Amino acid sequence: MKRRPGSSGALHLISTATATRLVRLDRVGKIPAVMCLDTNYLDTIGMLSELRVRTSRRVTGALKQPTKSRSSRIGWVRNSRDFTTLKHISAGAALMLAAEYDRISSVTGNPPATIDLHKWDASVKGTLAELGFFDLLRLRVDVPASTGGLMIEKMVSGSEVNMAPVNEAIRRLFDRMGGDPGLRLQLASAVTDAVENVRSHAYPTANPFSVPKWWFTGAVDQASGKLTLAILDQGISIPRALPMKWGLNQIIEKFLSDFSLNFDPQDPANDGQAIELAMTLATSTGLSFRGKGLPKILEIIRGCPEGRLRIVSRCGDYTYSADGSKLIQTHAVPFLGTYLELEALLHQAQP
C-alpha cells in the first residue's frame, strides 16, 4: 500500500469487538489534548464536526475495521483517531463524543475500532468507561472506580420518551452525593420536557446518516459538589428549526426589531441571536421552542446556587446564569445538533 500524508508505518494495536491485532495506520485524525466546551471550545467542536462530516459519506467501512489481507501481512486502518493525545475530557464533551460513535455504529452496522487503548490517559479512559463509551464499541475495559474527581453516570439514549432510566440516573447521583430531593425532582422534570420535544423539532426529515435519537448523562464534580446534566440531539438545530416553529416572516420581523439584523435560517452568522430569540419567544409567550420546558428550566436555574443553563446549537452558544446575566456567542465552527447543559450546586452554602 502506498504511503500517504498522515500515514504511519509504525505498528499499532487495534481493538475491535471481535479481535485485537497489530496494524498500520493511514490518515490518522488527531484528538485535542483537552475536550471541554468551557476551556477549548473550538478544538472540541471542530473535531466532532469534522468526525460527523467524514463519517457521513458513503465510504465509511475503513473507519471501523482494518483492511483485509490475503496473506499474513500487517493490514492497514484508514481514518482512525489517536486518543493517546487526549488528557482531559469534560462530561459534556464525553457525551458528544459517545453520541457520535453511537451514530457511526448504528449507520455502519459495526462499532468503530480503538487504537492503542493501552496508551490512553487513565482519567480519560475512566470517564469514558463510566459513561458507557466502551460498551458502544463492545469492548470490556476495566478501570478503577472514581474516588475524588468526576463522577459520571452511564449514558442513556433513545428515540422514544422513556424517562425511567434518566430519572434513575439523576436519582443515583443525588443518592451518592446527597442534595435537595426537591431540586432533583425539578431537574428531572426539566430534562423530561427537553427529551419530549426532541421528537417534535429535531428530526423533521429522514437522513441516511442521521440517527434520530437523544442522549443524556449526568455528572458531579466530587470536589465542588457541582452537578451537570447534559442532553443532546443530532438534529437540524435551533436556528434552522426556528422558522418552522414560529413562521419565517415573524422571525425575520423579530430579528430586525430585536437585533437590527437580517435572518436567514441557512446562514449561521447570527446563530447566537437565534437561540436568544428562541428563549425570548419561549419565556414571553409561555410556549417553549423545544416544548414547555424552557421557562421552567430558567426558573430552576434562578433558584439554584451557581445555576447555569447553556445551549449550543449549530454555531450559536447561549448561556444564562442564576443572577440573570446572559452570554450570547456565535462561533466559527458548528455543532451539528443541539446541546443543552444544566449546572447547579447540590448543596446550598450555609450562612
Q: Are residues 181 and 295 in the same domain?
A: yes
| Residue 280: pLDDT band with limits 50, 70, 90 | confident
User: For residue 160, how many other CB atoms are within 10 A of its CB?
Assistant: 9
* Residue 50 C-alpha from the chain's centroid: 14
Q: Are residues 112 and 238 in the same domain?
A: no
What's the rounded Cα separation, in Å, for the pair 326 and 223?
Answer: 26
What's the rounded Cα separation, in Å, for the pair 194 and 161?
Answer: 10
Q: Looking at residue 270, what DSSP letter applies?
A: G
Q: Are residues 162 and 309 in the same domain?
A: yes
pTM: 0.86
Residues 6+ apart with CB under 8 A from 40: 32, 34
Question: Would you say 40 and 92 are in contact if contact means Cβ atoms under 8 Å apart?
Answer: no
Which string of DSSP letters, residue by residue, matches 13-45?
EEE-SS-EEEEEEESPEE--SEE-TTT-HHHHH
Q: Are residues 105 and 234 in the same domain?
A: no
Q: Are residues 63 and 132 in the same domain?
A: yes
Residue 131: phi, psi to the nearest 5?
A: -70, -25
User: What is the Rg, in whole angstroms, of the alpha carbon atoms belonging to the chain?
Assistant: 21
What domain range includes position 89? 1-145
pLDDT for 288 equals 43
Which of 13-22, 210-219, 342-351 has the highest mean predicted lDDT (pLDDT)? Answer: 210-219
Q: Are residues 285 and 342 in the same domain?
A: yes
* Overall size of the chain counted in residues: 351
Q: Pick the last residue of a domain from 145, 169, 204.
A: 145
Which string of DSSP letters, residue by residue, matches 277-312?
HHHHHHHHHS--TTSSHHHHHHHHHHTSTT-EEEEE
Q: What residues are paired with 33 via a beta bridge?
A: none
- Look at the block and give the residue holding cell 476551556: 39
Determine which of 29-33, 53-57, 176-180, 303-307 has the lowest per-residue pLDDT on average: 53-57
Residue type at position 281: L
Q: Are residues 86 and 198 in the same domain?
A: no
What's the structural domain count of the chain? 2
Question: Would you say 255 and 263 are in contact if contact means Cβ atoms under 8 Å apart?
Answer: yes
What's the rounded Cα separation, in Å, for the pair 134 and 106?
Answer: 15
Between strands 34-35 and 88-89, the pairing is parallel
Q: Are residues 157 and 78 in the same domain?
A: no
Between strands 88-89 and 29-30, the pairing is unpaired
| SS3 call for 316 | strand
Q: Are residues 73 and 196 in the same domain?
A: no
Q: Are residues 319 and 235 in the same domain?
A: yes
Q: Looking at residue 212, what DSSP letter applies?
A: -
Would you say residue 70 has pLDDT above 60?
Answer: no
Q: Pick the last residue of a domain from 120, 145, 170.
A: 145
What's the rounded Cα separation, in Å, for the pair 197 and 293?
Answer: 9
What is the pLDDT averaged over residues 154-179?
Answer: 88
C-alpha cell belonging to residue 241: 428549526
| Residue 349: pLDDT band with limits 50, 70, 90 | very low
Q: Dmax of the chain from CA atoms?
A: 73
What is the pLDDT averaged over residues 152-178?
Answer: 89
What is the pLDDT averaged over residues 76-86?
Answer: 77
| Residue 286: pLDDT band with limits 50, 70, 90 | very low
Put residue 116 in one of left, alpha, beta given phi > 0 → left and psi -120 to 50 → alpha. Answer: left
Q: Are residues 13 and 109 in the same domain?
A: yes
CA distances to 13, 23, 344 from 118, in Å: 9, 15, 35
pLDDT for 141 equals 86
Of 242, 238, 241, 259, nearest in space to 251 by CA: 242
Q: What residues are paired with 342 via a beta bridge?
A: 229, 309
Q: What is the pLDDT of residues 110-152, one digit of tens each?
A: 888 788 888 999 999 999 999 999 999 888 888 876 666 889 9
Question: Which CATH number fits the domain that encloses residue 291?
Answer: 3.30.565.10
Q: Are residues 137 and 161 in the same domain?
A: no
What's the rounded Cα separation, in Å, for the pair 78 and 24?
Answer: 9
Q: Pick the last residue of a domain from 116, 145, 174.
A: 145
Of 339, 310, 125, 345, nearest in space to 216 by CA: 339
